[in-house]
Structure 1
């Protein structure tokens, strides 16, 4: 499994962290999600490379901005 870190804009509280963690965890092949509110990042393991559009759609669907 490879580790990947993405930047997510718009997070400001613990609820945001939970929402992003949950959204990413629902993507097939994604596990071990850790969201860092201070740096605005989400780090996770992926069994195989996940398409950036899939990540973007999951993040934007819950109201945040996917930076990449």
Structure 2
């Protein structure tokens, strides 16, 4: 399993974190998503490396921006 860390801007609350977690969680191979709203940090455990474009699209769909 691979863990990748991303920074997402615009998150301010638990609902924000939930939206990002839900969208990234739909990507193939994703096992777990952890979001820290205060730092904007998102850690993703997946079966293998994820394409940054796919993660960016999921974050965009949630209404936020991958930094």
Shorter-chain TM-score bucket reads over 0.9
CA distance in 2, matches of 1:38, 1:62: 17
What are the residue-to-residue correspondences of 1:1-68 with 2, within 5 Å?
1-67=1-67
What's the TM-score, normalizing by structure 1? 0.93
Q: CA RMSD in A?
A: 0.7
Instruction: Name stretches of at least 5 consecutive residues in structure 2 with no aligned partner.
Output: none
Separation in 1 of the partners of 2:44 and 2:54? Answer: 14
Aligned-pair CA distance for 1:46: 1.4
For structure 1, list consecutive stretches of 5 or more residues without a partner in the other structure.
none
TM-superposed CA distance for 1:61, in Å, is: 1.4
TM-score (norm: length of structure 2) = 0.94
Count of aligned positions = 67
SS in 2 for 1:39: coil
